[in-house]
């Protein structure tokens, strides 16, 4: 039986473009959609996490694939570091995702939305408490807007679906589910009447994440005390945890009425907490995440006519 040596940094870089993370870019403005209006779009989002980067640098620089093929692996310090790397990666992966979203004006000052970000799903509702709530076909008002909302998202990390990553998933017998509740407070300034030419938005975000995970190795053994004593198979580890995240964001959209280009930047700080790993070890994680994004959105207005101006 052989000990394992590996390169967590190379593995993280290889899968940076195919991982999933909770939807964290803020694409809404302080103005919610008027009743009956539809908005949809596509966005490209990057998630850069200092926790994932820090954990990856601590790992060995040796190649992983050749040794991950071993049928039996002795638990080692290098393997413990790899375990910590994947926990950090799951909690807040370094990723590049394509995001699709859809919004609908549900009622007066309320709209709802759905989006899918790299396999993570989210529903949200927004309420506008400041500013006009008409579309640019109905009104010539502009100014400032404000809204607050709630988003619920969920995802299940099934690494086995990613090319070649099934070796690592099988090695640890890793499974994790994540649910997030996010509350954004958004303010915006319109470009032209009723965001006819876009607008600039900014605000703060609070979120709470609920984590459940399980590590069930089938071929990772504790180190033998003597040659005559067989190695002991490591017991499964499971746990539940939760953590808060605090963020701020700014985004700009420019265009005209029906088609807009989006540019957004968000930053979050989170203390992920302490997690039990194989062999009785624990890992404590915290860090900052930077989330830039860009994309396009499209508006479909409800069939209403602009009201004439009362000159009396």
Mention every residue, 6+ apart, whose C-beta is less than 8 A from residue 99. Answer: 23, 25, 42, 43, 44, 45, 115, 116, 117, 118, 293, 295
Tokens of 48: 């850069």
pLDDT tens per residue, range 178-217: 899 999 999 999 999 988 999 999 999 999 999 999 988 8
Question: Residue 80: CB partners within 8 Å, gap ≥ 6?
Answer: 277, 278, 279, 281
Cα–Cα distance measured from residue 82 to residue 86, given in angstroms and rounded to the nearest whole number: 6
Task: Give residue 229's pLDDT band: very low, low, confident or very high (50, 70, 90).
Answer: low
Q: Which pLDDT score, from 0 to 100, does residue 50 have?
A: 80
Lowest mean pLDDT among 77-86, 129-138, 139-148, 256-265: 77-86
CA nearest to 204, candidates 246, 263, 251, 252: 246
CA atoms of 173 and 150, how far apart (whole Å): 34
56 pLDDT band (50/70/90 cuts)? low
Whole-angstrom Cα distance, residue 174 to residue 214?
6
Question: What does pTM read for this prediction?
Answer: 0.81
What span, in angstroms and rounded, lies between the C-alpha atoms of 225 and 215?
24
Mind listing the pLDDT tens digit for each residue in 151-174? Answer: 999 987 665 445 445 566 677 788
Instruction: Return the pLDDT at 234.
Output: 80
Evaluate whether 251 touches 28 at the Cβ level (below 8 Å).
no
Interval 10-46: pLDDT, tens: 444 444 444 456 788 888 899 999 999 999 999 998 8
């Amino acid at each position: 039986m052989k000990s394992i040596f590996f390169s967590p940094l190379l593995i993280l870089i290889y899968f940076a473009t195919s991982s999933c993370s909770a939807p964290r870019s803020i694409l809404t403005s302080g103005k919610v959609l008027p009743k009956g209006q539809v908005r949809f779009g596509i966005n490209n989002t990057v998630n850069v996490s200092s926790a994932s980067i820090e954990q990856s640098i601590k790992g060995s620089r040796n190649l992983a694939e050749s040794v991950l093929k071993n049928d039996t692996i002795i638990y080692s310090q290098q393997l413990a570091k790899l375990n910590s790397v994947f926990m950090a990666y799951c909690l807040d992966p370094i990723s590049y995702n394509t995001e699709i979203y859809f919004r609908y004006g549900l009622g007066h000052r309320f709209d709802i939305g759905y989006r899918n970000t790299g396999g993570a799903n989210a529903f949200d509702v927004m309420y506008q408490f400041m500013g006009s709530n008409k579309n640019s076909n109905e009104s010539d008002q502009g100014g400032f807007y404000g809204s607050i909302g709630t988003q619920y998202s969920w995802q299940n990390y099934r690494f086995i679906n990613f090319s070649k990553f099934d070796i690592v998933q099988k090695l640890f017998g890793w499974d994790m589910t994540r649910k997030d509740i996010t509350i954004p407070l958004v303010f915006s300034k319109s470009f032209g009447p009723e965001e006819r030419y876009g607008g600039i938005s900014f605000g703060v975000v609070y979120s709470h994440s609920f984590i459940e995970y399980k590590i069930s190795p089938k071929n990772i053994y504790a180190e033998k005390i003597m040659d005559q004593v067989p190695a002991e198979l490591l017991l499964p580890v499971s746990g539940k945890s939760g953590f808060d995240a605090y963020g701020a964001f700014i985004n700009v959209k420019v265009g005209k009425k029906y088609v807009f280009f989006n540019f957004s930047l968000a930053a979050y700080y989170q203390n992920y907490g302490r997690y039990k790993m194989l062999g009785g070890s624990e890992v404590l994680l915290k860090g900052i995440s930077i989330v830039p994004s860009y994309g396009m959105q499209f508006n479909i207005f409800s069939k209403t006519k602009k009201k004439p101006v009362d000159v009396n």
